[in-house]
Structure 1
Amino acid sequence: MGANKTNQIILRPRKEESLKRFHPWVFSGAIAKTGQGIQEGDIVRVFSASGEFLGVGHYQVGSISVRILSFTDETINEDFYACRISSAYRMRMKIGLLHAGNNIFRLIHGEGDHLPGLIIDMYGKTAVVQAHSVGMDGDKEKIVDALQRVLGKDNLENIFYKSEGTLPFKAGIEADNDYLLGGQNVDPVALENGLRFNIDWLRGQKTGFFIDQRENRRLLEKYAAGKDVLNMFCYTGGFSVYALRGGARSVHSVDSSAKAVSLTDENIRLNFGEEPRHTSFSEDAFKFLKASTANAYDLIVLDPPAFAKHRGAISNALQGYKRLNLAALEKIKQEGILFTFSCSQAINKEQFRLAVFSAAAISGRKVSILHQLTQPADHPINIYHPEGEYLKGLVLFVE
């Protein structure tokens, strides 16, 4: 395909190496020349200084100037999206994610599925679509058409577009959260590993549920029998529900958001009815831990929101992780188990582990690592894009 010179990006000399290694980002500092009239969200073709074609992708204003969609010179249309979505769907089916007891999964995970800037989560027959780039917002109709082609009417009844809070704020796009397909008599209850959850994709965080903790919740269930469990930053109560099914003696769910606590209580009732083993608290996590009785809990879950949204916040975030884990280590019972997580992409697993190590050292307790956790298979990491590894977790045995 011949390249229109008005949509070309020309790189500086020797700035093409990362693209030749299939890394999907072009940084602004690597660009020598931008075609006349290119607007944010436009499809652009990237060339080396010597004129070699390198990739095609969405242009945006910022440090990451191009997110590469393809390293071959192809047209980005409905057929392109249908091909990528079909490939991602087949992978999810191959690894057995969709079955009688589970209809919650991530269908598209940005760079991990070679569609940077796009997230699609499935809750039963409802797809929740999030655009994280202006280009993906501009292509949403193509994406909706492709989704319908790939999934068909038997597997897809509703598409909810939820990009109001994820698009670059400087782009000035007014993206309303709304249904692009269906929306009538929608059942918000979906299944994860045989457990039912009421998903609030209309007003909830992310797409309504933290799908990335599915396998880690199942692991916690195996440790929960007979234990007193504390689930900090509980959000919709996923870890709490699994702990109760696993036979926990008691479960305390804590979140600063009264709305989150309400969702947790609703999901407990959905699975167990009135459950005397469960108590919820709408309180600040640090204050709750500080005020809690020592040795009250056999198992503690720390799954806070991202402490570092960008690299400039890393130092403060690491201090926050250290303080939080120290508070838990000081209160957990002897021979207790601590599940601790970071979902901050700006913090790597070595930095997080060092923060937890520092907390353990200050506590003076003997601590062993039982498991090192990460995101599940439907949140794949593109091997050429290691930045996609964002979820980090440790399961600790505390003597």
Structure 2
Amino acid sequence: MGTNLDTIPILHLRPGKDEPMERRHPWVFSGALDRRDTNGLMEGDLVELRSSTDDFVARGYWSPENIAIRILTFDASEEIDQAFWTRRLSEALKVREAVGLAGEHNAIRWIYGEGDGLPGLVIDLYDSIAVMQAHTLGIHRQRHQISDAMSTVLGSRLQVVYYKSAETLTASSPIEGEIDELLMGSLPREQEVVIDERGMKFYLDVVKGQKTGFFLDQRDNRSLLRQYAKGRKVLNMFCYTGGFSLAAMLGEAKQVVSVDSSERAIDMTARNMELNFPGRDDTHEEIATDAFAYLEGLQGGEYDLMVLDPPAFAKNRRVLSRALNGYRRLNRIALQKIAPSSLLFTFSCSQVVSPEKFQEAVFTAALQAGREVRILHRLTQAADHPVNIYHPEGEYLKGLVLYVK
């Protein structure tokens, strides 16, 4: 079903607010709009944005929240129809093919929101299963069209489309009933699949697992850790399903300890270890406990490679200060406890924490710990999480590899 360009509601920018749109940022904030135009609109409605002098600017989905419009196109002739979704999905797949991901792995992020010109949409492809996640009601309303477009692009390669958005749609979204649903096919028994990442195999639960079931963004960083793990005793904090732990094991670490507060995550880590190293000895240990408490309880010097990959400490700017305190504390304790001549892989996945702020927090932690520290690598998300150059906020994952004297 296409869009009738003559019937789309029209919104106008306030005088003086035109210039920021010339930078092609995909977000329009509510303060930039003439609010009189929004009367009668429903969240998720497709709207046309015009300048204060009535010139075409863009089309996108409207929301009553601070980000009032998420832009889908700056092209006045482009309709938001079935061909649009198919075109964008096909373009995104070409990006993954260009960097070798579509052929090297059976698990990729196919759509990364603004990075692929589709704000509010995330799609991860696990072999023949696609997991779709909407972050806006506009995307939610188009989920069936998007599923059909996926089928058009992948053909018989695609067997299942699972829609998983109950935790990502905003609380203000007026949706009744169950949100998560199968849009195509049927999930495998026990809802688990096995994916392969550069020789590492992982179970994942697309229904009950976090986000879409797996964190693909750390792929390259896991490979880097694998290069450094040989002969080291590795501590993987906030291990989730054990990605960095498996990388360390394959990198011939002397010993690996995985820590997470979730019993379910620890159980999945143990299963992934058995999947990759059947009949393994005591080279790996899983511990379900609070990360801060575990670090505080260390004598010091037990580990010469640590991984700190915590969940987002800040999901909005209102708690930014508290989040930075959390990063300072976590890294201070780790730096106090890590052995001499060691490596620390430390991360933040909080979008509102800039790379500069994160490095400053780690800098303060090093001062407080009284350790001499060198930066060996600055890390970010994998290439299937591309950053739209007009939307720098898309670069959310920040990481440092530190040498601790």
TM-score (normalizing by structure 1): 0.97
Cα distance in 2 between the residues matched to 1:278 and 1:193: 20
The counterpart of 2:169, out of the listed 167, 170, 174, is 167
Cα distance in 2 between the residues matched to 1:274 and 1:320: 38
Once superposed, what is the RMSD of the aligned Cα atoms?
A: 1.3
2:158 counterpart of 1:156: yes
Equivalent position SS for 2:279: coil
What is the CA distance between 1:19 and its match in structure 2?
1.8
2:47 counterpart of 1:44: yes
2:318 counterpart of 1:315: no
Cα distance in 2 between the residues matched to 1:6 and 1:382: 26
What is the CA distance between 1:184 and its match in structure 2?
4.5
Letter in 2 for 1:157: Q
Match of 1:233 in 2: 238
2:85 counterpart of 1:81: yes
Equivalent position SS for 1:226: coil
- Deviations 1:66-90 (Å, cap 9, x if unpaired)? 0000001221111100000000001
Cα distance in 2 between the residues matched to 1:185 and 1:344: 33
The counterpart of 1:61, out of the listed 57, 60, 64, is 64
What is the CA distance between 1:24 and its match in structure 2?
0.6
Equivalent position SS for 2:340: strand
Match of 1:353 in 2: 359
What stretches of structure 1 move > 3 A for 4+ residues in a row? Answer: 1-6, 184-187
Equivalent position SS for 1:98: helix
The question of whether the paired residues in 2 share the 8 Å contact of 1:55 and 1:71 is answered with yes
Match of 1:387 in 2: 393
Unaligned 5+ runs, structure 1: none
1:195-344 to structure 2, matched below 5 A, reads: 195-275=200-280, 276-344=282-350
Equivalent position SS for 2:205: coil
Percent identity between matched residues is 49
The question of whether the paired residues in 1 share the 8 Å contact of 2:245 and 2:256 is answered with yes
The counterpart of 1:138, out of the listed 130, 137, 141, is 141
Match of 1:71 in 2: 74
Letter in 2 for 1:319: N
Letter in 1 for 2:16: R
Q: 1:184 to 1:117 in 2, by over 3 A?
A: closer
- Deviations 1:252-298 (Å, cap 9, x if unpaired)? 00000000101111111111113221100100000000112210001
Equivalent position SS for 1:337: strand
Letter in 2 for 1:171: S
Cα distance in 2 between the residues matched to 1:345 and 1:221: 26
The question of whether the paired residues in 2 share the 8 Å contact of 1:16 and 1:48 is answered with yes
Match of 1:98 in 2: 102
Cα distance in 2 between the residues matched to 1:189 and 1:146: 25
Match of 2:117 in 1: 114
Equivalent position SS for 1:375: coil
The question of whether the paired residues in 2 share the 8 Å contact of 1:102 and 1:194 is answered with no
Unaligned 5+ runs, structure 2: none
Letter in 1 for 2:386: P
Letter in 2 for 1:192: E
What is the CA distance between 1:312 and its match in structure 2?
0.6
Q: Which sits farther off after the overlay, 25-34 or 229-238?
A: 25-34
Equivalent position SS for 2:101: coil
Q: Which sits farther off after the overlay, 331-340 or 183-192?
A: 183-192
Cα distance in 2 between the residues matched to 1:3 and 1:141: 21
Cα distance in 2 between the residues matched to 1:245 and 1:35: 56
The question of whether the paired residues in 1 share the 8 Å contact of 2:106 and 2:126 is answered with yes
Match of 2:379 in 1: 373
What is the CA distance between 1:5 and its match in structure 2?
6.4
What is the CA distance between 1:122 and its match in structure 2?
0.9
TM-score (normalizing by structure 2): 0.96
Q: Which sits farther off after the overlay, 172-181 or 126-135?
A: 172-181
What is the CA distance between 1:178 and its match in structure 2?
2.1
Equivalent position SS for 2:341: strand
Q: Which sits farther off after the overlay, 74-83 or 27-36?
A: 27-36
Match of 1:194 in 2: 199
The question of whether the paired residues in 1 share the 8 Å contact of 2:8 and 2:48 is answered with no
